[in-house]
Amino acid sequence: MNIAEQNVINFIRENKERGTRLLQRLVQEGSIRGKESKAQAVIIEKCRELGLELDIWEIGDEELRSHPAFCSDRKDFSGNPNVVGVLKGEGGGKSIILNGHIDVVPVGENTAWKHDPFSGHIEDGRLYGRGSTDMKGGTAALLLAMEALIKSGIRLKGDLIFQSVIEEESGGAGTLAAILRGYRADGALIPEPTNMKFFPKQQGSMWFRIKVEGVQAHGGTRYEGVSAIEKVMLIIGGLQELEKKRNEELNDPLFSRIPIPIPINIGKIQSGEWPSSVPDLAIIEGRMGVAPSETLEDAMSAMETAVSRLAESDAWLSKHPPSVEWFGAKWFPGSLETDDALVTTLAESFAAIRNEDPVIEASPWATDGGYLDKVGNTPVLIFGPGTTRLAHETNEYIELDQMFQSAEIIALALMKWCENVQE
């Protein structure tokens, strides 16, 4: 590590309290959907302090709403802006987008939390609260890394484009809006909670709804009807087959340790209203995983074909084919090769700080990275502090040490990627 790098690392190590306080303030402004403004105000204040060029805007214009990838049921985005803070480089270096989402998922049962979900309570090196892991810890790490570079007098050739976006948990309209506003770069880093793993590829996903018809009858003469429950069981069986086939066909080494890389999850089933009636309608809803190597359309077509083949093999279903709908949000998969410069640059910094190589996997969930990759045409790596397991849970927390360590790794990587002028 050269002196410039050492200075940057030292800054982070000497300013842990600062970083902790920043995260605590972000968590305390509970930014559930529709209430992102106060947490964004904390971000804006920090960006101002760092002297970044600020771009603050309310998303939701016609260009966004009419984009084919736009997917949101939110009527009103006013008062809760996207925030971008740019540190212009001196020219000639690679640029990078540093993207974090400010929105958090609902807290669920308040009473189940040991502390108030927005307390930011600290105990045994952990900071508790909704959003601590997903992903205000990651965002704080980005800001801390940038602060360390700036305060250490580092001058970069390439641009740092810090983005604090809304709507990630509800389909990604915030990041899509930033892309449409023109923000592009040579690479992007999203510090979602990967527990310090590298996710160059991400599973995409879509929600489906399948409706199966039957014929009502009295339960005592159930043979006079057609049970929608029996018929939907055929469909569920078929989806299990499809999942098996799709995963067997996948031979990406990044998935080798994942039991079901692209799962088809049946999350919900509803049929019937009366114990002694034969139900005439069954509805299942679920989530279909999309492989990094395929398009959303490929995946849709795979399911629709499987369901319609299955229907053909059943006398009733062939005459009353089940309907397949795609509803709610769609998450694009992300796909970056492991030898991409973005991955190797981060891996080098990772090794410098942790004396080991990173674990490189494909993520089991999608991120806003799908938009950056598929719409913004920007290579994306997902790497950050905190564990997925805690992300949407009661008593969510983050290990502060992981947050600081990731800030160190990111700071070093930015010096290499965007090139330190002083080197």
Q: Which residues bind its own copies (CB under 8 A)?
A: 203, 205, 207-209, 218-223, 227, 229-230, 233, 236-237, 259-260, 263, 265-279, 282, 285-287, 289, 328, 364-366, 388, 392
- Taking the complex as a whole, how short is the minimal distance between the CB of residue 238 and its own copies, in angstroms? 12
The token pair at 235 is: 């469909």
Residues 170 and 98: beta-carbon distance below 8 Å: no
- Taking the complex as a whole, how short is the minimal distance between the CB of residue 249 and its own copies, in angstroms? 18
55 is catalytic: no
- How far apart, in Å, are the Cα atoms of 67 and each of 94, 171, 204, 272? 28, 13, 19, 38
The token pair at 357 is: 């190589």
Residues 203 and 262: beta-carbon distance below 8 Å: yes
Residues 362 and 202: beta-carbon distance below 8 Å: yes
Query: How many alpha carbons fall within 13 Å on the CB side of residue 355?
Result: 0
Residues 376 and 161: beta-carbon distance below 8 Å: no
Instruction: From the candidates 29, 103, 285, 399, give the one annotated as an active-site residue.
Output: 103
Give the helix/strand (H/E) hosting 10: helix 3-14
In the bound state with its own copies, the residue whose beta carbon lies nearer, of 60 and 279, is: 279
Strand partners, 320: none
Residues 6+ apart with CB under 8 A from 94: 157, 158, 185, 186, 187, 417, 418, 419
In the bound state with its own copies, the residue whose beta carbon lies nearer, of 57 and 365, is: 365
- Taking the complex as a whole, how short is the minimal distance between the CB of residue 174 and its own copies, in angstroms? 19
Instruction: From the candidates 55, 167, 168, 368, give the one annotated as an active-site residue.
Output: 168
- Taking the complex as a whole, how short is the minimal distance between the CB of residue 271 and its own copies, in angstroms? 5
Q: In angstroms, rounded to a whole number, what is the distance separating the alpha carbons of residues 389 and 381?
A: 20
Residues counted in the chain: 423
Residues 331 and 172: beta-carbon distance below 8 Å: yes
In the bound state with its own copies, the residue whose beta carbon lies nearer, of 62 and 109, is: 109
Backbone torsion region of residue 328, taken as left when φ is above 0, otherwise alpha when ψ lies between -120 and 50, otherwise beta: left
- Taking the complex as a whole, how short is the minimal distance between the CB of residue 218 and its own copies, in angstroms? 7
Strand partners, 331: 205
- Taking the complex as a whole, how short is the minimal distance between the CB of residue 227 and its own copies, in angstroms? 7
103 is catalytic: yes
Residue 256: is it exposed, middle or buried by C-beta count within 10 angstroms (0-12/13-18/19+)? exposed
Catalytic residue positions?
103, 168
